[in-house]
């Protein structure tokens, strides 16, 4: 299982410091990231996905306590699920095929993975539809399917249930629970405290001043009223 160790990382946006912290993630299960708007949660996901690099400090990756090289093979083991705005003007099926083709997966295996993933996110009946014509909830499930299909070790999710109705939130959470059963590491950014309570194994709280609190979920929610996150929650 991949682990992440961020040491003294700094990240700027338009010359403004948006991240300055130390933290770590290890083990399978669901790791929830909470924090106010503007504290750098999305930027952190991009760093963990090896899509960006910090201006200073390092994000060290390891597996079974052995360092991992930041190469293409490692990058493909970590997937940041796309946002609905990033879907292609193609069929639902072809959107899922995209990542598999990039990885040069054989056609027969590709077809099987697409079929299985469509069933897992309840989109089989829409497989021939253009992805851009789907509802908001359907688009979000397709984004998750695109991440799941390539069977990464780590899936990063950036507020997948924002602006969705309760029914669609339940569907997305059900999919996340299925991911947990597959013994993957899932890192989820959310503002939904109730969702974090339902799903999280660990909670990472990033405050507006970039102070970080990382605790098992039960401990976090039992003690939050007595620490620095009280004002946020």
- Encode pLDDT of 49-60 as tens digits: 999 999 999 999
pLDDT of residue 145: 98
pLDDT band at 229 (very low <50, low <70, confident <90, very high): low
Q: What mean pLDDT do residues 57-79 have?
A: 93
- Encode pLDDT of 165-203 as tens digits: 999 999 999 999 999 999 899 999 999 999 999 999 999
Closest Cα partner for 142 from 187, 77, 78, 83? 83
What is the distance between the alpha carbons of residues 36 and 30, in angstroms, rounded to a whole number? Answer: 20
CB atoms within 10 A of CB 115: 14
Closest Cα partner for 173 from 186, 45, 17? 186
- Encode pLDDT of 145-156 as tens digits: 999 999 999 999
Does residue 225 surpass a pLDDT of 80?
A: no
E-strand ranges in 99-224 read 154-158, 185-189, 202-206, 212-216
- The beta-carbon contacts of 216-225 under 8 Å, at least 24 apart in sequence, are 217/32, 221/197
Does residue 228 surpass a pLDDT of 70?
A: no
15 CB burial (10 A radius; 0-12, 13-18, 19+): exposed
Q: What mean pLDDT do residues 64-70 have?
A: 90
CB 185 within 8 A of CB 31: yes
What is the distance between the alpha carbons of residues 96 and 143, in angstroms, rounded to a whole number? Answer: 8
pLDDT of residue 222: 87
Closest Cα partner for 20 from 202, 212, 223? 212
pLDDT of residue 65: 84
Write down the pTM of the prediction: 0.94
pLDDT band at 115 (very low <50, low <70, confident <90, very high): very high
pLDDT band at 230 (very low <50, low <70, confident <90, very high): low
């Amino acid at each position: 299982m991949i682990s992440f160790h961020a040491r003294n990382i700094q990240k700027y946006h338009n010359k403004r410091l948006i991240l300055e912290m130390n933290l770590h993630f290890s083990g399978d299960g669901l790791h929830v990231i909470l924090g106010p708007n503007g504290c750098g949660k999305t930027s952190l996901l991009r760093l963990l996905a090896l899509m960006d690099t910090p201006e200073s400090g390092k994000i060290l990756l390891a597996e079974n306590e052995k360092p991992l090289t930041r190469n293409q093979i490692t990058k493909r083991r970590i997937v940041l699920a796309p946002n609905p705005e990033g879907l292609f003007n193609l069929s639902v099926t072809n959107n899922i095929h995209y990542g598999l083709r990039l990885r040069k997966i054989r056609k027969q295996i590709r077809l099987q993975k697409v079929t299985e993933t469509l069933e897992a996110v309840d989109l089989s009946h829409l497989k021939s539809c253009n992805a851009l014509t789907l509802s908001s909830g359907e688009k979000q499930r397709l984004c998750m399917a695109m991440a799941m299909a390539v069977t990464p070790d780590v899936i990063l999710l950036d507020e997948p249930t924002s602006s969705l109705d309760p029914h669609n939130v339940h569907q997305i959470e059900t999919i996340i629970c299925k991911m947990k059963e597959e013994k993957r590491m899932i890192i989820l950014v959310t503002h939904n405290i109730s969702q974090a309570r339902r799903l999280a194994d660990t909670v990472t709280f990033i405050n507006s001043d970039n102070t970080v609190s990382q605790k098992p979920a039960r401990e976090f929610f039992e003690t939050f009223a007595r620490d620095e996150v009280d004002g946020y929650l």
